[in-house]
Structure 1
Amino acid sequence: MLGGTDFGGRAVAEAARDRGWEVTVFHRGEHPAPAGVRVLRGDRTAPDGLAALAGGSWDAVVDTWSAGPAAVRDTARLLSGRAGRYAFVSSRSVYAWPAPAGLDEDGPLAEGDPDADATEYPADKRGAELAVLREFGEERTLIVRAGLLLGPRETPGRLTWWLERVARGGRVLAPGPRDTPLQYVDARDLAAWLLDALDAGLHGPYNMVGPPGHTTMGDLLDACLRVTGSDAELCWTPPEAVEAAGVEAWSELPIWAPPGSELHAAVHAGDVSRALATGLRCRPVLDTVRDTWAWRQALPDGVAPPLADGVPAEKEARALAGEAAGSGPAGV
């Protein structure tokens, strides 16, 4: 496991360990490694940073790298003769923008250079895919194109931001409509599918996110209310009023995108039939929300979780004032 100490990578490492697999975690030491795994230290961006991987062999490698593709190239090249298969956790961001609703794994892709240093996220992820394919070949390469990833330890803290905001109480700007469909995957469900896929010898690219409409914005925020025990009031506000208040979808209202928009089509309407047909199973949204809140509550005093920036208080107040002045309900 290259990484394996935080969020998605940690979910994979822990799931493999819990299956009784022998797990080696190679990381820089920024976070504690999971219990019960072998630990190797190194920095893939430093001279001789891969020295700890100079010996040994593995049945499979899982890599979650998100920066310059050259680091993936060097690692894949070093391990190509000593590892059976290579799973690279990529991103649905590799598809050329704008990605239309229903896009499957054969959609047009961003340009990527396997030998490049860090540039932009889509190009970096695509370049890393190409690097692994070049070193391991198609039959030994599994490409996992993750969509919106949620769950305990989540970074950059989109769901955690909503939980914190709802827990504070008061009137909460809830972007409507309530039935806006969402598409995401719990990191633990991604991990389970990925390990099964390695075991089954799957290869090629897979969109890795739950089915469109696995939950809705209403169900998500209702779950936040339920698990936090908050008395907050969800003020459902139509997209037009959100936009009129200058509030940005996705960045300032994490997870949400206006239905019918280019952004919603790209983020919440991808085709995942290939993953579903090969065993992807997605837990209920309440489980993901509850477990994320439990993780947040268990953090030691003074330790803050990663949090998305979210909507500034003054913008939220402006949007709520607009609703009160007659912008109208979200039609739910």
Structure 2
Amino acid sequence: MRLLILGGTEFVGRALAEDALARGWEVTVFHRGRHPAPGGAGVLHGDRTAEGGLAALAHGEWDVVADTWSGAPRAVRDTARLLAGRAGRYAYVSTRSVHGEPVPAGAAEDAPVVESSPDAGDMPYPQAKRGGELAALDAFGDRALLLRAGVVLGPWENVGRLPWWLLRVARGGPVPVPEPRDAGLQYIDVRDLASWSLDAAARGLGGPYNLISRPRHTTMEGLFDACVRVTGSDAEPLWTPPGTFLSAGVEPWTGLPLWLPDGPVREGIYEGNAELAHAAGLRCRPVEETVADTWAWLRSVGGRAPLRDGLPGPGMGEETEARLLAAAGGAAGE
């Protein structure tokens, strides 16, 4: 199989490249040259946002194109149109957020989606991804595979969510963690996303698929315990009412990665429907494996997770945590 990855050097694109290379596929990555390409992959350079930036793609044929673009939809439009006659299938990495934020709890692939256009420039994330879907469908029709990912974790993560938890737990000591300890988490390991996506493209599947584990794949306690085990830390969870976090100025999701208090946003992110993909062979590895492999990768890059360009680092600062620990100690003892 000949695979062209538009990107291919970071997180999801990297996982796609590594998986395809392990299969013996012929892999070409098209990127701006800011990050090293995976060993064994052919390299084409270009900038999709620049005039003439697709020149390197003017020739060549591929069985599958994988596209992780999350910016202006017209970049997907231009690339997909250029490749439509020279590629078999177009796998576009989208998001469940195309259903609108907050995503309705239990939303399957046929739930309503936001309005957008393949010709649009910069837009909010849900509309941008939906515009990318429309661009892929416009150029490839039923040869377009729409990969609607949920929360993505695992090695090469350039968002910093799981790395933040690992690094904080590795420092040890009491760690404030929001109750309830059995709060469910639903996500997908980046390697499971990559493996299923390549299998699906090779099988000729098309249309939208939600790519995420089943609800309650793990819990806050399960995630924390896994982080303790793999880091060998003496960290102990200080289970704390959610209101204490909010009173201390901790922003859900950004100030404490992966945490959302009860409500529509949490339900939409952690109670999604992915039965269509599971019926088509999606398998999600246990949290212990995701955490252990992410820790091994994190240590291999010096314990500092690379962040996507322009993305602020997640997690609370030391002063906020100290304030929270003081408040949590009182709340936990009430």
TM category, shorter = over 0.9
1:231-273 CA-to-partner distances (Å, cap 9, x unmatched) read 1121111222222322221111101112x31121111111010
Does the alignment pair 1:299 with 2:301?
Answer: yes
Is the Cα contact below 8 Å between 1:186 and 1:282 reproduced in 2?
Answer: yes
> 1:171: Cα distance to partner?
1.6
Higher mean C-alpha deviation, range 242-251 or range 101-110: 242-251
Separation in 1 of the partners of 2:284 and 2:265? 23
> 1:132: Cα distance to partner?
0.8
Secondary structure of 1:294's aligned partner: helix
Secondary structure of 2:6's aligned partner: coil
Could you tell me which of 277, 280, 283 is aligned with 1:278? 280
Could you tell me which of 210, 233, 239 is aligned with 2:242? 239
1:82-93 alignment runs, 5 A limit:
82-93=86-97
After superposition, the Cα gap between the structure-2 partners of 1:49 and 1:186, relative to the gap in structure 1 and judged at 3 Å, is same
> 1:99: Cα distance to partner?
1.8
Could you tell me which of 13, 17, 39 is aligned with 1:13? 17
1:45-124 alignment runs, 5 A limit:
45-124=49-128
1:78-105 CA-to-partner distances (Å, cap 9, x unmatched) read 0000001101000111112222211111
Higher mean C-alpha deviation, range 263-272 or range 238-247: 238-247
Higher mean C-alpha deviation, range 50-59 or range 315-324: 315-324
Higher mean C-alpha deviation, range 156-165 or range 313-322: 313-322
Is the Cα contact below 8 Å between 1:237 and 1:328 reproduced in 2?
Answer: no
* Number of the residue aligned with 1:213: 216
> 1:106: Cα distance to partner?
1.2
**TM score, norm. by length of structure 1:** 0.95
How many residues get paired?
A: 326
> 1:223: Cα distance to partner?
0.7
Separation in 1 of the partners of 2:156 and 2:317? 23
After superposition, the Cα gap between the structure-2 partners of 1:304 and 1:21, relative to the gap in structure 1 and judged at 3 Å, is closer
**TM score, norm. by length of structure 2:** 0.94
After superposition, the Cα gap between the structure-2 partners of 1:300 and 1:311, relative to the gap in structure 1 and judged at 3 Å, is closer
Separation in 1 of the partners of 2:46 and 2:52? 8
Residue type of the alignment partner of 1:232:
A
1:277-297 CA-to-partner distances (Å, cap 9, x unmatched) read 001101110111111111111
* Number of the residue aligned with 1:318: 323
Secondary structure of 1:39's aligned partner: strand
Separation in 2 of the partners of 1:300 and 1:314? 25
After superposition, the Cα gap between the structure-2 partners of 1:144 and 1:328, relative to the gap in structure 1 and judged at 3 Å, is farther
Secondary structure of 1:61's aligned partner: strand
* Number of the residue aligned with 2:256: 253
Is the Cα contact below 8 Å between 2:7 and 2:29 reproduced in 1?
Answer: yes
* Number of the residue aligned with 2:189: 186
* Number of the residue aligned with 1:160: 163
Alignment gaps of 5+ in structure 2 = none
